[in-house]
Structure formats: C-alpha cells, structure tokens
Amino acid sequence: MVTKTIKSVEKAIDLLFLFDGDRTDMDVKTIAHSLGVPLRTTYRLVDTLRKRRVLVLDESTGRYRVSPRVGHLLAAIEDSGNITRLCGPFLTELARRSGETAQLFVPSSDEALLIETAESPHPLRVGPRMGQRIPLHCGAGAKVLLAFRPPEEWDGYIHRNGLKKYTPNTVTNPETLKRQLQTIRRTGFAESNQEFVLGVRALGAPIKNGIGVVCASLGLVGPDTRLTMGKARKLKSLMIEVAGRISAALAGDSSS
C-alpha cells in the first residue's frame, strides 16, 4: 500500500536539512533557490518554523538559523542512538580487517576523549587507554575533531592551549598545524607518526551525525614498525569506508 505524504511537511524537513556545519544561516532567497520552490511559499515555510521556534531570524541581516530549541531534539537522538553501542561492531570489523587497534573518539572541550576500542589481534598493541583524553593537536584521531571545527576556531584553540610538545614529532608551529588541518578537511583522512606517544602511528577519519556534522572520529593505531607508512596509505580507503558506514548508520540508514 502506498501512503501519500504531506508535501508541506516534506518541504519543511528539506528546509531544515539545508543547514549544516558549513552553512549555518541563510536568507529566504537562498532557501527558496535551494529548495526549488517559489519565494512566496518559502516565506510561509520559514514564518511557520519561526513561530514554532524552530528557526530564528536575525533582524539585522535578514538571515535565518536553526533555533537552539532543536538541540533538545538532537540530544534525544544521540541518547537513543548510543554511539558507543552502535559503533562497536564497526570497530571490531576494522580491527580484524586492518590488524590494528580501532578507536572511537568524541570531542570533549579542547580534547579528544577515547570512548571505545577494538583491540588488534596481534600480541603487540600500542595506543592510549579507554577513557584517556588527548589534546586536539596531537595524533590523527584527535586532529580530525579539530579540523572539522570551523576554521576560525583553530586560532582560539591554539591561544587557549598552546601547542604543547609531547614527542619530537608533535606539531608546535601554528601555521604547520593549520595547513595539516586544511588537508584533513579536504581529504577526510588524517595520518600521524609518533606525535603523542613514541613508536605509535595513527590514522583518523571523520564520523558525521544525522545532520552531516562531524560528531566523532574513527581512529586506528599500531606500532610504527608494523603500521608502516606504506601500510597506512593502503588502509586509507578502508578507514574512509568504515567511517562512512558509521555515519550512515547514525543517520538511520539501516543498509550500512
């Protein structure tokens, strides 16, 4: 049986999904063009959503943004999804296919918090412990979380924390770090070698939530004698694949 949908509700949902990490506010003309609907219809849509406190209008610019009220809904989604439980099977698969330890990081202020791991099948294992916090400028998994913050926030992180040196390979030059972060944003992949712990090479890839915002990072760590630069390059596509499948699962795509 085919059930008819309510077109106005469809358009309202499509409108909300226009907002993402790269486009946080828009004027009515931009919204109308993106949706492919008449300007008059778009005015009715945004006015309805504004009255329901889903959108907020900046009177000085005439641009709309998503209301903080929606944050309550996102909190409920994240709680019901339980990212740790959802990611567990993916981490286990990644550890098996790569032969290294798979990790799940989430942002915690100016640090990356390691909330789940799947250990390497090899006896020799390296890397941070579950529950450990890592500065955002150290290591691939942490750098991913910093890279996908708005670039204007990078200097704020540097000024608040400095770029503390943990090993000879820790990046302590702000311009070098920002170039690396730009590359991570462009490629969706990070690699680091002995930046936080000597002898450890790490890989990272972004995980996005249901609205396309990076909410976590997928990490992979191993001893640099086994996780060589050549092996790391071969694992890039696997990392991006698994991170993409986790992102799809967070968005409710059950086929992933």
72-114 per-position pLDDT tens digit: 555 554 444 478 888 999 999 999 999 999 999 999 888 999 9
Give the domain 77-250 fold: Beta-Lactamase (3.30.450)
Would you tell me how many other CB atoms lie within 10 Å of the CB of residue 230? 8
- Give the chain's length: 256
Per-residue tokens: 129: 């412990």
Which pLDDT tens digit goes with each residue over 172-212? 999 999 999 999 999 999 999 999 999 999 999 999 988 88
- So where are the chain's domains? 7-68, 77-250
Given this chain, do its domains 7-68 and 77-250 carry the same CATH topology?
no
Give the chain's mean pLDDT.
Answer: 88
Helix (H, G, I), strand (E, B) or coil at 126: coil
Is the separation of the CB atoms in 80 and 86 below 8 Å?
A: no
For the 7-68 domain, the top CATH level (class) is mainly alpha
Is the separation of the CB atoms in 83 and 106 below 8 Å?
A: yes
Nearest to 158 by CA among 141, 142, 140, 178: 178
Which pLDDT tens digit goes with each residue over 101-160? 999 999 988 899 999 999 888 877 676 777 889 999 999 999 999 999 998 899 999 999
Q: Which amino acid is at 31?
A: I
Is the separation of the CB atoms in 23 and 33 below 8 Å?
A: no
Per-residue DSSP letter, 10: H
Which pLDDT tens digit goes with each residue over 207-241? 998 888 899 999 999 999 999 999 999 999 999 99
Is the separation of the CB atoms in 54 and 38 below 8 Å?
A: no
Question: Model-level pTM greater than 0.75?
Answer: no
- Please enumerate in sequence order all residues whose Cβ is within 8 A of that of 225, keeping only pairs 6 or more positions apart, or say none: 199
Give percent above pLDDT 70 in the chain.
89
Residue 256 to residue 245: CA distance in whole angstroms:
5
> Phi first, then psi: what are they for 243, rounded to 5°?
-60, -40
